[in-house]
A and B are shown apart, each in its own frame.
Chain A
């Protein structure tokens, strides 16, 4: 439902950037949009509670959009409206109370904990960014969208490189790498590591005996015998990070309340 709404609203706003308001409004078959929205509306939309703790993340992303794409007021209004819909649909990344049953295996492992102990089943930062990219495309112009994608790509590279450097640093601190091993592991992680996020690694970085559950195939083959022994003495635990455990800086722009 929300995807359709983004497209519908986006097309509407794109028109407005290219034409006058009156001309564009004439092109919109409002009834058709409304009908299609109704068809894709999930039955339990009103019952599920959108997770509030994701709102600051969405607001930060909207503020980035504002700075990078420099949308006009009408575009920004539509982007915020679409983001609001996207937020409502984010119930799927938080384990719902009725799904909590200790005897039942989880469909997806818990990746983060919300501030009130919510089990978050996907990386919320990634989700917010993916949603933003989807909703933005039909609303802004091509050059605006290109600016945004270029900017988020640079951010993704910065975060990923930082995370990989942190992995190497953690492994080095606990297993004493040679310069060659550091380079090899860095290379392997660059080409093969998926879903690597600084948030998961920071706890292991500050705890001497803790090693995050990194996939063995990405680093164990480069270890010598002494390092294999050291590895066996470490605790390899998946400590689930809390979303707000780094302490929040309040950014003053509240697009979503």
Chain B
């Protein structure tokens, strides 16, 4: 039953409320599961987030040497990010509980919309550029360390872009027969379009598909035959259809 409700809420495409849904009940556990998804409960999610602070600190320490004091300050900032997130979760839970127990379809959607931003925030990670942790990093490390970290981040972004493009095209090569010359050229062309990649790997494939759709047709039409072009066109159409979704998630920003 929970799954059915979740599917309906996810699709958001039911035109009329089915009779059974008028009497459906969703509880706080269901609401929590929308937010915390793969985690069994809030405690597990908290423990995962605490591990992520360690991950962030380990990552910084791989590039620049940190003192124990610096590490402690970063840990405190990371815990601050977790607290801020849970404050927002509590606020959303209170709103959910105040919605009563009459779960008509539009109210299920309304409840789900309360959970979605938190769910996305959690999946994307709490320690991105707007986080307390990153702000404290900026004030904790020296200018020289900051420059080293910037270079390392840039290098990793480049590796992520290359990986994303190659994974996409390797998969595509299992559906469209391609010679190595064709594959190499397409890799090069899509790489040129990959001005950004974003933080959320869940959308990387869609992003590459969209970037492929941006490659000018003239750049590759002579390289492929008619049947191949027709299949590539299917892929670019799928990519174009992703534009609004990618924009909504800020993945088409031109920053690297």
Q: Complex: how many Å from CA A173 to CA B180?
A: 30
Q: Complex: how many Å from CA A163 to CA B47?
A: 30
Asked whether, in the complex, the Cβ of A252 is within 8 Å of the Cβ of B170, the reply is no
Q: Closest CB-CB distance, A120 to chain B, in whole Å?
A: 15
User: Chain B at the A interface: mostly helix, strand, loop or mixed?
Assistant: helix
Q: Does chain B have a CB within 8 A of A43?
A: no
Asked whether, in the complex, the Cβ of A158 is within 8 Å of the Cβ of B183, the reply is yes
Supposing A63-B227, A158-B170 touch, asked if A205 and B201 sit within 8 A by C-beta, the answer is yes
Bitwise interface map of A from 153 to 174 toward B, beta carbon under 8 Å scored 1, else 0 = 0110011011101100100111
Asked whether, in the complex, the Cβ of A176 is within 8 Å of the Cβ of B62, the reply is yes
Asked whether, in the complex, the Cβ of A248 is within 8 Å of the Cβ of B175, the reply is yes
Bitwise interface map of B from 24 to 41 toward A, beta carbon under 8 Å scored 1, else 0 = 000000000000001100
Q: Does chain A have a CB within 8 A of B225?
A: yes
Q: Residues of A contacting B8 with CB < 8 Å?
A: none
Asked whether, in the complex, the Cβ of A250 is within 8 Å of the Cβ of B51, the reply is no
> What's the interface size class on B, roughly?
35 or more
Q: Does chain A have a CB within 8 A of B240?
A: no
Q: Complex: how many Å from CA A210 to CA B175?
A: 27
Q: Does chain A have a CB within 8 A of B204?
A: yes
Q: Closest CB-CB distance, B58 to chain A, in whole Å?
A: 4
Q: Complex: how many Å from CA A230 to CA B54?
A: 8
Q: Does chain A have a CB within 8 A of B174?
A: yes
Q: Does chain B have a CB within 8 A of A247?
A: yes
Of all chain A residues, the one with the shortest Cβ separation from B56 is A176
Asked whether, in the complex, the Cβ of B183 is within 8 Å of the Cβ of A175, the reply is no
Q: Complex: how many Å from CA A249 to CA B180?
A: 19
Q: Closest CB-CB distance, B70 to chain A, in whole Å?
A: 15
Asked whether, in the complex, the Cβ of A206 is within 8 Å of the Cβ of B204, the reply is yes
Supposing A175-B55, A177-B62, A208-B125 touch, asked if A249 and B170 sit within 8 A by C-beta, the answer is no
Asked whether, in the complex, the Cβ of A198 is within 8 Å of the Cβ of B167, the reply is yes
- Restricting to B107-153, which residues have a CB under 8 Å from any CB of A? 123, 125, 152
Asked whether, in the complex, the Cβ of B163 is within 8 Å of the Cβ of A162, the reply is yes
Asked whether, in the complex, the Cβ of A174 is within 8 Å of the Cβ of B175, the reply is no
Asked whether, in the complex, the Cβ of A233 is within 8 Å of the Cβ of B170, the reply is no
Asked whether, in the complex, the Cβ of A158 is within 8 Å of the Cβ of B166, the reply is yes
Partner of B180, one of A61, A125, A154, A209: A154
Q: Which chain B residues have a beta carbon within 8 Å of chain A's beta carbons?
A: 38-39, 47-48, 51, 54-56, 58-59, 61-63, 123, 125, 152, 155-156, 159-160, 162-163, 166-167, 170-180, 183, 201-202, 204-205, 225, 227, 230-231, 234-235, 238
